[in-house]
């Protein structure tokens, strides 16, 4: 998709926010530290990846081999490694070169078990894959959409990268007073669970907004669940007031 720049020249619209990439690149070396700045993602990761795996079971039953899965905005590969261990042929892609270097270094130091599916990484943008005509059974974007330039364009791109009948998984944060108090003020400023500046509350997305944008992108929501933090662990819940995850089908 093309857009007009302030100089009057055409340029290719990108989902990548350079400021966001710089912010997360600075965290890359400590990404795999379960007590470091990405500790909340370490804790949340099993819930997210197992929820997605469970919801794409119908695709697995209809497939003669492992499903292909694209993990967009993979960072240093927390979810990507988990998906490969769950049996998906996984490609993790991220615009942060530092993040991909950390992902590849961790994989080299901690090889996947023999029963895992394939895993590879790529430094680049999802737009690169669109230009190449790449398509996947499952497209995964966890805690990414609240960091992109245009969420509607981003969902269109996710749909474009998905095979007909395939599925798209998105997790993000709801834009509510409670999420501002807990996920922004509490997590970043009071408890210091996340680095200050990790989130912009104005870019959080309400579930009905996400569903509407998905419909315009040709995606149909199949299920949605809250992700709630209870003492010492994350659990699936009906409470979507802060963190939530949704699964869509491309019909």
Digit-coded pLDDT (tens) for 85-134: 999 999 999 999 999 999 999 999 999 999 999 999 999 999 999 999 99
pLDDT at 3 over 50: no
**Binding site annotation covers 208?**
no
- % of the chain surpassing 70 pLDDT: 83
What is the reported pTM? 0.86
Task: Give the domain CATH number at 58.
Answer: 3.40.50.150
**Binding site annotation covers 71?**
no
For residue 140, being part of any structural domain is answered with yes
Structural domains counted in the chain: 1
Q: In what order do the strands lie in the sheet with 119-123?
A: 119-123, 89-94, 68-72, 136-142, 162-173, 243-250, 219-230, 233-237
**pLDDT given at position 189:** 47
Range of the domain at 94: 20-250
For residue 3, being part of any structural domain is answered with no
**Binding site annotation covers 73?**
yes
**Binding site annotation covers 60?**
no
Instruction: Look at residue 167 and give its three-state secondary structure.
Output: strand
């Amino acid at each position: 998709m093309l857009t007009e720049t302030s100089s009057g020249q055409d340029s290719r619209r990108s989902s990548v926010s350079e400021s966001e990439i710089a912010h997360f690149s600075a965290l890359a070396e400590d990404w795999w530290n379960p007590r470091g700045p990405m500790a909340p993602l370490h804790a949340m990761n099993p819930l997210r990846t197992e929820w997605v795996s469970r919801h794409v079971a119908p695709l697995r039953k209809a497939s003669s081999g492992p499903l292909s899965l694209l993990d967009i905005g993979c960072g240093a590969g927390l979810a990507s490694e988990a998906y490969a261990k769950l049996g998906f042929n996984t490609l993790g892609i991220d615009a942060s070169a530092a993040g991909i270097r950390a992902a590849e270094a961790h994989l080299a130091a901690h090889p996947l078990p023999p029963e895992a599916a394939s895993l590879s990484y790529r430094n680049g943008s999802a737009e690169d894959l669109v230009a190449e005509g790449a398509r996947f059974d499952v497209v995964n974007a966890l805690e990414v959409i609240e960091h992109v330039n245009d969420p509607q364009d981003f969902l269109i791109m996710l749909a474009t990268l998905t095979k007909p009948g395939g599925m798209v998984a998105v997790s993000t944060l709801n834009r509510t007073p409670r999420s501002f108090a807990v996920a922004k003020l509490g997590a970043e400023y009071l408890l210091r669970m996340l680095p200050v500046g990790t989130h912009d509350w104005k870019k959080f997305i309400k579930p009905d907004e996400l569903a509407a944008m998905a419909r315009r992108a040709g995606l149909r929501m199949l299920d949605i669940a809250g992700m709630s933090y209870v003492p010492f662990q994350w659990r699936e819940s009906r409470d979507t007031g802060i963190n939530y995850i949704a699964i869509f089908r491309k019909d």
